[in-house]
């Protein structure tokens, strides 16, 4: 999943979340998007009211998501190998936001984490916080996180006079296996976006962050002969980002295709990302005759997430919608579609993880259009 993002409003389609904030929103003259109603003279009290409503929605969405995941994990015969959170752990990198992320998720979760950072964690905060302290807070915490987890990340630390300088892309690769070791994948965590790089300074600290493109290129070359699936994880993957990923994967697929076919194996690689809160979908790109999934994994503000399942013969991803148990008669989960990820292909496919309400609405629209088309045909006759 992605975007725990303490504290960010819910998506408009997240009806259960918007119901929770309905009363305080009306008190502070806010619409469904937490924007002030036109014509209202905004003062500091109303601004504080908007901050309050934002926190109400954010805390609700995180609580519901956490309860749904706890329920799912406890219902499974075997616990998942890890929970991947692809960025935007916080909304602005403030210490109190990081503290809340750790309190709700990090400090007491029943399975290991694989974490990445997003644009809200550091990119959006550069030159927008005193001494760049917000961006520095998240990056220094993340550097400590990978170190404490014994993860070999693409980051080096050195002292320059009285300052400390960090250099690298922060990317890392982990081999993640099931409890008995029968199923394994390589998870490559790229953070934020494939082409993002930046240099900035905080108090006595300099950050020199490079794009992870070179790191990914080298890792794919090293893993070219692996029989294990490769999961590329990042936060943003739109427009030019996705184009660059596709180009790199196309070259990699072309280079390994003969080797895989001679061993009667199918290349298994895909990109998994978040950022666009409302999107929860899969594009099965057809590259070199094989499916390469590009997946919007689901976000906390939309109360969506996905479960990746791997066996010796299949690999699937299933979408889930988290529900508040009090609003849905004790139900905490709605299971959505299950999609097969890899194999031969002839064209690109687009698939959405639709919930019951969306599917019902879509079928109604389709039925109405069909009736209109039949009426138009009769008129033509």
pLDDT of residue 180: 83
Structure tokens at 3: 């975007």
Domain ranges within the chain, ordered by starting residue:
15-374
**Would you say 106 and 113 are in contact if contact means Cβ atoms under 8 Å apart?**
yes
**pLDDT confidence of residue 367:** 74
Q: How far apart are CA 134 and CA 207, in angstroms?
A: 13
pLDDT in tens, 321-362: 999 999 999 999 999 999 999 999 999 999 999 988 777 777
Overall residue count recorded for the chain in this entry: 381
Q: How far apart are CA 360 and CA 38, in angstroms?
A: 34
Task: For residue 137, count CB atoms less than 10 angstroms from its CB and return exposed for 0-12, middle for 13-18, buried for 19 or more.
Answer: buried
pLDDT at residue 381, rounded to an integer: 63
Q: What angle (nearest 5°) sits at the alpha carbon of residue 151, between those of residues 146 and 155?
A: 65
- Residue 378 pLDDT: 66
Model confidence pLDDT, tens digit, residues 209-226: 999 999 999 999 999 989
Q: Which residues sit opposite 155 in a β-bridge? A: 168
Residues of the chain with pLDDT under 70: 378-381
Question: Of the CATH numbers 3.60.21, 1.10.1740, 3.30.1480, 3.30.110, which one belongs to the domain with range 15-374?
Answer: 3.60.21
- pLDDT, tens only, 304-323: 999 999 988 899 999 999 99
């Amino acid at each position: 999943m992605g975007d725990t993002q303490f504290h960010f409003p819910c998506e408009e389609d997240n009806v259960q979340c918007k119901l929770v904030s309905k009363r305080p929103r009306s008190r502070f003259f806010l619409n469904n998007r937490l924007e002030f109603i036109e014509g209202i003279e905004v003062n500091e009290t109303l601004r504080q009211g908007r901050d309050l409503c934002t926190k109400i929605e954010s805390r609700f969405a995180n609580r519901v998501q956490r309860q749904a995941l706890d329920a799912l994990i406890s219902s499974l015969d075997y616990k998942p190998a890890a929970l991947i959170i692809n960025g935007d752990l916080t909304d602005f990198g403030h210490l109190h936001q990081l503290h809340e992320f750790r309190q709700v998720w990090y400090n007491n979760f029943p399975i290991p984490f694989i974490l990445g950072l997003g644009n809200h964690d550091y990119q959006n905060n550069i030159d927008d916080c005193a001494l760049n302290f917000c961006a520095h807070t998240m990056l220094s915490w993340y550097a400590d996180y990978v170190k404490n987890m014994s993860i070999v990340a693409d980051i080096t630390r050195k002292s320059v006079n009285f300052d400390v300088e960090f250099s690298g892309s922060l990317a890392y690769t982990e081999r993640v296996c099931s409890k008995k070791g029968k199923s394994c994948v390589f998870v490559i965590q790229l953070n934020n976006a494939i082409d993002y790089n930046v240099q900035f300074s905080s108090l006595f600290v300099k950050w020199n962050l490079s794009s992870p493109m070179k790191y990914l290129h080298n890792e794919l070359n090293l893993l070219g002969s692996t029989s294990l699936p490769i999961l590329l994880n990042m936060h943003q993957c739109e427009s030019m980002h996705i184009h660059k990923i596709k180009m790199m994967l196309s070259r990699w697929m072309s280079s390994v295709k003969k080797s895989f076919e001679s061993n009667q194996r199918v290349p298994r690689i895909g990109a998994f990302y978040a950022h666009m809160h409302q999107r929860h979908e899969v594009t099965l790109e057809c590259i070199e005759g094989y499916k390469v999934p590009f997946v919007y994994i689901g976000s906390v503000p939309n109360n969506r997430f996905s479960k990746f399942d791997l066996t010796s013969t299949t690999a699937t991803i299933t979408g889930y919608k988290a529900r508040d148990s009090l609003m849905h008669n004790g139900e905490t989960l709605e299971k959505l579609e299950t999609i097969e990820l890899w194999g031969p292909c002839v064209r690109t496919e687009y698939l959405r993880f639709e919930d019951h309400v969306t599917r019902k609405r879509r079928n109604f629209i389709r039925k109405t259009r069909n009736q209109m088309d039949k009426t138009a045909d009769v008129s033509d006759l």
